[in-house]
Structure 1
């Protein structure tokens, strides 16, 4: 694998941590115009696939049939973190949809965010499948099975008709033949897809610029889906997280995944990007993403500032003393 150093973290002038990785940016001709490292490297989408996995919901009449609000619909694309507004929207979805909590294949867990998790533990509340950060996706999967006439049992298996439908959609968006898409099992138990980094960027280009999608129904579904993501960015992640910071900018469609994967598309600029931090660190996402936007001359400084606020370039210790810095080392 060909890769480059993306980020260095120093302490008193000495390099303490190095985060290497790969980046690809494409234009609306599906050509690579920005590249760091090997754009042909296969990478697992992880949760960056969630918007793609949610497209069948927006292709159907599920949203209108069950009177799903925009806030609730955003949960189908989300890696929700268990804040009160997440749980409230999930509980509402559970009441509306033809799905039962015990049917969700994701395991029972506590919320990802520390504050709601600690509150639940203090109150001696039990773990629930609904608290899992992929619960919205799984609620969508169970509902899609019922609406499409697929069996709910085994919806998490690679050969299930729902997963094959999602695979077909991914193939169309990414320009990768289904036979060339590699499969694994994600953290929540459903299939996870690996394709070349360049094609991940192409998929997000099409999410940002749905006019590039040949099928009219899918074009309209993608427009509806990305609209609810931009309308409810905190639902997709939560306050002070990268996804929410980017999605507050209505020009951006973005979603991250575990182990350092991040994808985003720019609507006006008609660009798609994908990156993989090889250390698996999500901590350096804000620095890498802010640098990408600065290097391409992105006009919305507020978005860049939001990323810089999440992870400043200076490193402080527990006493608030500056002890090092974060250095961005790559050039597009």
Structure 2
């Protein structure tokens, strides 16, 4: 296994304070490596960056159409949302349309990232429910799939029919047999693959033009993400801001512990990267840098500047340092 390379540096007082190393790859629609850093063969958990792969069987099977899912619901099935009202209201209605309640979810609950919703809960003396979970849209998709198949309620079990369908699609699109899975924060299996396999999958989404069930499904999912960036993440989040900045040129999705992907339909390219220390600010800086490198977003766009952070300020507003892209990653 090759060694990770330095991708993002944090400087303070004129000295290098932190170095974030990782692996990254840019893949074309034929599965060929356009450019890579570190080891493309490094095996990782994609975490939430692969939600469009987890939604794929539901769409390509025709179940999404049978259920009458909208582009908003397809975007939510790929989302790691902030639990704002625009997210929770839509997921709640989705569950109601299925004839189900919040208790049918298996994702668990956590406090929403959305500050107004968090404040509302605190003032009302309420606690968050599973609909506030950032993965509740994905799980509503799982429940849509489950209801159609009349399968058991424990849809996050690895041997459940929908998880078997997801694993099959995952391996076919990544072009690799997964060596196994870990349990994600939302309790669903997260199938491992290489950085290259993840990039290859994103390139296939980028190159999809329709014409068959799988290609049609890939087009619909990527287009739904780009049409509704506010549902995929939320206000202030990197995925939402970078997709808005890309203006229909990229579907972008981060995952926990340092993973980020991008689907570039106009370029026919897929991007996958992994920051080995799991830093969110480093993965966001790295994906922003690659999007600028490929001409998808202008370097001076505010969404890029916020991620690359040429200036970092403390609580008094004093400049203390900044983030830089490492020379090895330029």
Partner of 1:328: 325
Contact 2:82 2:134 in 1 (8 A): yes
Partner of 1:162: 162
Measured after TM superposition, the shift of residue 14 of structure 1 is: 1.4
Of stretches 276-285 and 118-127 in structure 1, the one that deviates more from structure 2 is 118-127
Measured after TM superposition, the shift of residue 316 of structure 1 is: 1.0
Measured after TM superposition, the shift of residue 100 of structure 1 is: 2.7
CA distance, structure 2, for counterparts of residue 285 and residue 137 of structure 1:
22
Instruction: Spell out the pairing of 1:189-204 with structure 2 (5 A cutoff).
Output: 189-204=187-202
Classify 1:87/1:253 alpha carbon distance in 2 versus 1 (closer, same or farther; 3 Å).
Answer: same
Contact 1:109 1:127 in 2 (8 A): yes
Instruction: Spell out the pairing of 1:166-315 with structure 2 (5 A cutoff).
Output: 166-177=166-177, 180-211=178-209, 216-248=212-244, 249=246, 250-296=248-294, 298-301=295-298, 305-315=302-312
CA distance, structure 2, for counterparts of residue 40 and residue 199 of structure 1:
8
SS of the counterpart of 1:111? Answer: coil
CA distance, structure 2, for counterparts of residue 84 and residue 290 of structure 1:
28
Partner of 2:132: 131
SS of the counterpart of 1:301? Answer: coil
Classify 1:172/1:303 alpha carbon distance in 2 versus 1 (closer, same or farther; 3 Å).
Answer: farther
Which digits, 9 at most, give the CA deviation of each residue in 1:239-284, with x for residues without a partner?
Answer: 2211112333312122111001001121111111110111101112
CA distance, structure 1, for counterparts of residue 135 and residue 128 of structure 2:
14
Please report the RMSD computed on the Cα atoms of aligned residues, expressed in angstroms: 2.0
Measured after TM superposition, the shift of residue 60 of structure 1 is: 4.2
Classify 1:294/1:69 alpha carbon distance in 2 versus 1 (closer, same or farther; 3 Å).
Answer: closer
Measured after TM superposition, the shift of residue 148 of structure 1 is: 2.0
Contact 2:111 2:132 in 1 (8 A): yes
Of stretches 245-254 and 220-229 in structure 1, the one that deviates more from structure 2 is 245-254
Contact 1:98 1:146 in 2 (8 A): no
Which digits, 9 at most, give the CA deviation of each residue in 1:50-99, with x for residues without a partner?
Answer: 11111122224444444433223311111111111111211221221243
Partner of 1:59: 60
Classify 1:140/1:299 alpha carbon distance in 2 versus 1 (closer, same or farther; 3 Å).
Answer: closer
SS of the counterpart of 2:20? Answer: strand
Of stretches 276-285 and 238-247 in structure 1, the one that deviates more from structure 2 is 238-247
CA distance, structure 2, for counterparts of residue 256 and residue 305 of structure 1:
19
CA distance, structure 1, for counterparts of residue 240 and residue 301 of structure 2:
13
SS of the counterpart of 2:317? Answer: coil
CA distance, structure 2, for counterparts of residue 86 and residue 198 of structure 1:
32
Measured after TM superposition, the shift of residue 24 of structure 1 is: 1.0
Contact 2:299 2:305 in 1 (8 A): no
CA distance, structure 2, for counterparts of residue 15 and residue 176 of structure 1:
38
Measured after TM superposition, the shift of residue 150 of structure 1 is: 2.1
CA distance, structure 1, for counterparts of residue 325 and residue 299 of structure 2:
19
SS of the counterpart of 2:219? Answer: helix
Structure 2-normalised TM-score? 0.92
SS of the counterpart of 1:57? Answer: helix
Measured after TM superposition, the shift of residue 303 of structure 1 is: 8.8
Structure 1-normalised TM-score? 0.92
SS of the counterpart of 2:156? Answer: coil
CA distance, structure 2, for counterparts of residue 176 and residue 318 of structure 1:
47
Q: How many residues align?
A: 326
Contact 2:261 2:287 in 1 (8 A): no
